[in-house]
Structure 1
Protein backbone atom coordinates (compact mmCIF):
# COMPACT_ATOMS: atom_id res chain seq x y z
CA UNK A 1 0.00 0.00 0.00
CA UNK A 2 1.49 3.35 -0.98
CA UNK A 3 2.12 5.77 1.86
CA UNK A 4 2.99 8.82 -0.25
CA UNK A 5 -0.04 11.02 0.34
CA UNK A 6 -3.01 11.07 2.64
CA UNK A 7 -5.58 11.33 -0.15
CA UNK A 8 -4.05 8.51 -2.19
CA UNK A 9 -3.90 6.23 0.83
CA UNK A 10 -7.52 6.96 1.68
CA UNK A 11 -8.66 6.19 -1.87
CA UNK A 12 -6.63 2.99 -1.85
CA UNK A 13 -8.27 1.90 1.44
CA UNK A 14 -11.75 2.57 0.09
CA UNK A 15 -10.97 0.69 -3.12
CA UNK A 16 -9.61 -2.33 -1.27
CA UNK A 17 -12.61 -2.33 1.08
CA UNK A 18 -15.03 -2.34 -1.85
CA UNK A 19 -13.13 -5.18 -3.50
CA UNK A 20 -13.33 -7.26 -0.34
CA UNK A 21 -17.15 -7.06 -0.23
CA UNK A 22 -19.08 -9.97 -1.76
CA UNK A 23 -21.03 -9.12 -4.87
CA UNK A 24 -24.42 -7.82 -3.85
CA UNK A 25 -27.45 -8.56 -5.99
CA UNK A 26 -30.53 -6.81 -4.59
CA UNK A 27 -32.68 -8.31 -7.35
CA UNK A 28 -32.00 -11.80 -6.02
CA UNK A 29 -33.02 -10.74 -2.52
CA UNK A 30 -36.18 -9.17 -3.88
CA UNK A 31 -37.00 -12.28 -5.87
CA UNK A 32 -36.36 -14.48 -2.85
CA UNK A 33 -38.66 -12.37 -0.67
CA UNK A 34 -41.37 -12.30 -3.34
CA UNK A 35 -41.45 -16.05 -3.84
CA UNK A 36 -44.63 -17.49 -2.40
CA UNK A 37 -43.46 -21.07 -2.32
CA UNK A 38 -42.55 -22.48 1.06
CA UNK A 39 -40.28 -25.37 0.48
CA UNK A 40 -36.69 -26.31 -0.16
CA UNK A 41 -34.29 -23.49 -0.85
CA UNK A 42 -33.94 -22.61 -4.50
CA UNK A 43 -30.57 -22.56 -6.11
CA UNK A 44 -29.09 -19.37 -7.48
CA UNK A 45 -29.60 -20.59 -11.05
CA UNK A 46 -33.31 -21.20 -10.48
CA UNK A 47 -33.66 -17.75 -8.97
CA UNK A 48 -31.84 -16.20 -11.91
CA UNK A 49 -34.15 -17.99 -14.36
CA UNK A 50 -37.25 -16.80 -12.51
CA UNK A 51 -35.89 -13.29 -12.35
CA UNK A 52 -35.18 -13.30 -16.09
CA UNK A 53 -38.67 -14.64 -16.75
CA UNK A 54 -40.34 -11.93 -14.63
CA UNK A 55 -38.15 -8.99 -15.53
CA UNK A 56 -37.81 -9.63 -19.24
CA UNK A 57 -41.29 -10.26 -20.50
CA UNK A 58 -41.40 -9.15 -24.11
CA UNK A 59 -43.18 -5.86 -24.75
CA UNK A 60 -46.62 -6.19 -26.25
CA UNK A 61 -49.54 -4.05 -27.31
CA UNK A 62 -52.10 -6.75 -26.56
CA UNK A 63 -54.56 -5.24 -24.08
CA UNK A 64 -55.46 -8.57 -22.51
CA UNK A 65 -51.81 -9.41 -21.88
CA UNK A 66 -51.19 -5.98 -20.36
CA UNK A 67 -54.21 -6.39 -18.07
CA UNK A 68 -52.94 -9.81 -16.99
CA UNK A 69 -49.55 -8.32 -16.13
CA UNK A 70 -51.17 -5.50 -14.17
CA UNK A 71 -53.40 -7.93 -12.26
CA UNK A 72 -50.33 -9.99 -11.34
CA UNK A 73 -48.55 -7.04 -9.70
CA UNK A 74 -50.14 -6.02 -6.36
CA UNK A 75 -48.68 -2.50 -6.52
CA UNK A 76 -51.16 -1.59 -9.25
CA UNK A 77 -54.19 -3.12 -7.51
CA UNK A 78 -54.62 -1.38 -4.16
CA UNK A 79 -57.75 -2.25 -2.20
CA UNK A 80 -60.66 0.16 -2.60
CA UNK A 81 -61.45 2.33 0.41
CA UNK A 82 -64.51 1.48 2.48
CA UNK A 83 -67.85 3.19 1.88
CA UNK A 84 -67.74 5.20 5.11
CA UNK A 85 -64.40 6.70 4.07
CA UNK A 86 -65.82 7.69 0.69
CA UNK A 87 -68.87 9.29 2.31
CA UNK A 88 -66.66 11.08 4.86
CA UNK A 89 -64.51 12.48 2.06
CA UNK A 90 -67.56 13.80 0.19
CA UNK A 91 -68.90 15.40 3.40
CA UNK A 92 -65.55 17.05 4.10
CA UNK A 93 -65.40 18.48 0.57
CA UNK A 94 -68.95 19.86 0.89
CA UNK A 95 -68.09 21.40 4.28
CA UNK A 96 -64.99 23.02 2.81
CA UNK A 97 -67.07 24.58 0.02
CA UNK A 98 -69.57 25.84 2.61
CA UNK A 99 -66.82 27.40 4.75
CA UNK A 100 -65.23 29.00 1.68
CA UNK A 101 -68.54 30.59 0.66
CA UNK A 102 -69.19 31.85 4.19
CA UNK A 103 -65.70 33.36 4.37
CA UNK A 104 -66.19 35.06 1.02
CA UNK A 105 -69.47 36.62 2.18
CA UNK A 106 -67.85 37.75 5.44
CA UNK A 107 -64.95 39.33 3.56
CA UNK A 108 -67.35 41.12 1.21
CA UNK A 109 -69.24 42.58 4.19
CA UNK A 110 -66.09 43.73 5.96
CA UNK A 111 -64.80 45.55 2.88
CA UNK A 112 -64.53 49.34 3.31
CA UNK A 113 -67.26 51.34 1.57
CA UNK A 114 -66.74 52.24 -2.06
CA UNK A 115 -65.94 55.93 -2.52
CA UNK A 116 -67.38 57.92 -5.43
CA UNK A 117 -65.62 61.16 -6.22
CA UNK A 118 -67.85 63.99 -7.36
CA UNK A 119 -66.85 67.12 -9.21
CA UNK A 120 -64.43 69.25 -7.18
CA UNK A 121 -66.29 72.37 -8.22
CA UNK A 122 -69.51 71.54 -6.41
CA UNK A 123 -72.48 73.87 -5.99
CA UNK A 124 -71.34 74.94 -2.52
CA UNK A 125 -67.85 75.87 -3.67
CA UNK A 126 -68.21 77.09 -7.27
CA UNK A 127 -64.87 78.82 -7.41
CA UNK A 128 -63.07 76.35 -5.14
CA UNK A 129 -61.26 78.41 -2.61
CA UNK A 130 -57.83 77.18 -1.56
CA UNK A 131 -58.97 75.73 1.74
CA UNK A 132 -62.30 74.22 0.78
CA UNK A 133 -63.42 71.44 3.13
CA UNK A 134 -63.94 67.80 2.18
CA UNK A 135 -67.64 66.98 2.20
CA UNK A 136 -68.57 63.28 2.41
CA UNK A 137 -72.02 61.91 1.85
CA UNK A 138 -73.06 58.32 2.50
CA UNK A 139 -75.45 57.02 -0.18
CA UNK A 140 -78.26 54.49 0.33
CA UNK A 141 -76.31 51.61 -1.23
CA UNK A 142 -73.39 52.07 1.20
CA UNK A 143 -71.07 54.01 -1.07
CA UNK A 144 -69.48 57.27 0.05
CA UNK A 145 -69.64 60.36 -2.15
CA UNK A 146 -66.76 62.81 -1.64
CA UNK A 147 -67.10 66.45 -2.65
CA UNK A 148 -64.85 69.40 -2.17
CA UNK A 149 -61.07 69.30 -1.86
CA UNK A 150 -59.59 65.84 -2.16
CA UNK A 151 -56.69 64.74 -0.02
CA UNK A 152 -53.40 64.47 -1.86
CA UNK A 153 -50.61 61.98 -1.35
CA UNK A 154 -47.10 63.39 -1.18
Structure 2
Protein backbone atom coordinates (compact mmCIF):
# COMPACT_ATOMS: atom_id res chain seq x y z
CA UNK A 1 0.00 0.00 0.00
CA UNK A 2 1.13 3.35 -0.81
CA UNK A 3 0.45 6.25 1.31
CA UNK A 4 -0.59 9.46 -0.23
CA UNK A 5 2.27 11.93 -0.51
CA UNK A 6 1.64 14.94 1.46
CA UNK A 7 2.96 18.15 0.12
CA UNK A 8 4.09 20.66 2.60
CA UNK A 9 3.51 24.24 1.70
CA UNK A 10 6.64 25.85 0.25
CA UNK A 11 8.10 28.73 2.08
CA UNK A 12 8.77 30.68 -1.09
CA UNK A 13 5.22 30.53 -2.28
CA UNK A 14 2.86 33.38 -2.00
CA UNK A 15 3.59 37.02 -1.70
CA UNK A 16 6.80 36.71 0.34
CA UNK A 17 8.27 34.23 -2.13
CA UNK A 18 7.48 36.53 -5.04
CA UNK A 19 9.31 39.39 -3.35
CA UNK A 20 12.36 37.21 -2.68
CA UNK A 21 12.46 35.91 -6.28
CA UNK A 22 11.96 39.42 -7.66
CA UNK A 23 14.76 40.81 -5.51
CA UNK A 24 17.08 38.07 -6.78
CA UNK A 25 16.20 38.84 -10.40
CA UNK A 26 16.67 42.56 -9.86
CA UNK A 27 20.05 41.89 -8.24
CA UNK A 28 21.18 39.80 -11.20
CA UNK A 29 19.92 42.46 -13.63
CA UNK A 30 21.83 45.19 -11.75
CA UNK A 31 24.98 43.07 -11.74
CA UNK A 32 24.71 42.45 -15.49
CA UNK A 33 24.12 46.17 -16.06
CA UNK A 34 27.19 47.11 -14.02
CA UNK A 35 29.33 44.59 -15.91
CA UNK A 36 28.12 45.87 -19.29
CA UNK A 37 28.78 49.48 -18.25
CA UNK A 38 32.28 48.55 -17.06
CA UNK A 39 32.96 46.83 -20.39
CA UNK A 40 31.80 49.91 -22.31
CA UNK A 41 34.03 52.17 -20.19
CA UNK A 42 37.05 49.92 -20.73
CA UNK A 43 36.47 49.97 -24.51
CA UNK A 44 36.08 53.75 -24.49
CA UNK A 45 39.32 54.36 -22.60
CA UNK A 46 41.19 51.89 -24.81
CA UNK A 47 40.00 53.79 -27.88
CA UNK A 48 41.06 57.12 -26.38
CA UNK A 49 44.48 55.73 -25.47
CA UNK A 50 44.94 54.19 -28.93
CA UNK A 51 44.03 57.45 -30.67
CA UNK A 52 46.50 59.34 -28.46
CA UNK A 53 49.22 56.83 -29.30
CA UNK A 54 48.40 57.13 -33.01
CA UNK A 55 48.62 60.93 -32.83
CA UNK A 56 52.01 60.72 -31.12
CA UNK A 57 53.33 58.27 -33.72
CA UNK A 58 52.04 60.51 -36.51
CA UNK A 59 53.72 63.55 -34.92
CA UNK A 60 57.03 61.68 -34.55
CA UNK A 61 56.88 60.57 -38.17
CA UNK A 62 56.09 64.13 -39.27
CA UNK A 63 59.07 65.49 -37.29
CA UNK A 64 61.38 62.88 -38.84
CA UNK A 65 60.11 63.73 -42.34
CA UNK A 66 60.50 67.48 -41.70
CA UNK A 67 64.05 66.93 -40.43
CA UNK A 68 64.93 64.97 -43.56
CA UNK A 69 63.48 67.69 -45.80
CA UNK A 70 65.55 70.23 -43.89
CA UNK A 71 68.69 68.12 -44.38
CA UNK A 72 68.06 67.93 -48.13
CA UNK A 73 67.53 71.69 -48.34
CA UNK A 74 70.74 72.36 -46.38
CA UNK A 75 72.59 69.94 -48.64
CA UNK A 76 71.28 71.75 -51.74
CA UNK A 77 72.36 75.11 -50.27
CA UNK A 78 75.84 73.85 -49.34
CA UNK A 79 78.04 74.59 -52.35
CA UNK A 80 81.50 74.60 -50.75
CA UNK A 81 81.25 72.46 -47.59
CA UNK A 82 80.81 75.49 -45.35
CA UNK A 83 77.29 76.66 -44.69
CA UNK A 84 77.23 80.45 -44.56
CA UNK A 85 74.92 82.44 -42.33
CA UNK A 86 72.89 83.44 -45.37
CA UNK A 87 72.55 79.81 -46.58
CA UNK A 88 71.46 78.72 -43.11
CA UNK A 89 68.99 81.60 -42.72
CA UNK A 90 67.48 81.03 -46.16
CA UNK A 91 66.96 77.31 -45.52
CA UNK A 92 65.68 77.58 -41.95
CA UNK A 93 63.31 80.51 -42.44
CA UNK A 94 61.14 81.08 -40.35
CA UNK A 95 63.07 78.96 -37.81
CA UNK A 96 66.34 80.03 -36.32
CA UNK A 97 69.19 77.69 -35.37
CA UNK A 98 69.75 76.84 -31.72
CA UNK A 99 73.48 76.96 -32.39
CA UNK A 100 75.98 77.17 -35.24
CA UNK A 101 79.59 76.06 -34.87
CA UNK A 102 82.23 76.52 -37.54
CA UNK A 103 85.54 74.68 -37.50
CA UNK A 104 88.34 74.16 -39.98
CA UNK A 105 86.59 71.01 -41.20
CA UNK A 106 83.08 72.36 -41.68
CA UNK A 107 79.89 73.70 -40.12
CA UNK A 108 77.53 72.17 -37.57
CA UNK A 109 74.02 73.55 -37.07
CA UNK A 110 71.61 72.49 -34.32
CA UNK A 111 67.92 73.02 -35.12
CA UNK A 112 64.75 72.21 -33.22
CA UNK A 113 62.14 70.63 -35.49
CA UNK A 114 58.58 70.70 -34.15
CA UNK A 115 55.33 69.36 -35.61
CA UNK A 116 51.94 68.90 -33.91
CA UNK A 117 53.19 69.60 -30.41
CA UNK A 118 56.12 67.18 -30.64
CA UNK A 119 59.68 68.49 -31.04
CA UNK A 120 63.16 67.09 -31.42
CA UNK A 121 66.54 68.67 -31.99
CA UNK A 122 68.76 67.60 -34.87
CA UNK A 123 72.36 68.38 -35.63
CA UNK A 124 73.30 68.98 -39.26
CA UNK A 125 76.96 68.75 -40.23
CA UNK A 126 78.46 69.95 -43.50
CA UNK A 127 82.11 68.99 -43.98
CA UNK A 128 84.55 70.52 -46.43
CA UNK A 129 85.84 67.11 -47.44
CA UNK A 130 82.40 66.01 -48.58
CA UNK A 131 81.24 69.04 -50.52
CA UNK A 132 77.49 68.97 -50.95
CA UNK A 133 77.01 66.36 -48.23
CA UNK A 134 75.08 67.23 -45.10
CA UNK A 135 74.68 64.61 -42.40
CA UNK A 136 71.84 64.81 -39.87
CA UNK A 137 71.60 63.16 -36.48
CA UNK A 138 68.79 63.38 -33.90
CA UNK A 139 69.77 64.50 -30.42
CA UNK A 140 68.46 62.98 -27.20
CA UNK A 141 67.80 66.42 -25.73
CA UNK A 142 67.75 69.96 -27.04
CA UNK A 143 70.66 72.11 -25.94
CA UNK A 144 69.92 75.60 -24.76
CA UNK A 145 70.10 78.17 -27.52
CA UNK A 146 73.48 79.81 -27.90
CA UNK A 147 74.44 82.83 -29.95
CA UNK A 148 75.40 82.18 -33.54
CA UNK A 149 79.15 82.47 -34.02
TM-score, normalization: structure 1? 0.30
Name the larger-Rg structure: 1
Higher relative CO (CA 8 A, sep ≥ 6), structure 1 or 2?
2
TM-score, normalization: structure 2? 0.30
Structure 1 or 2: larger strand share? 2
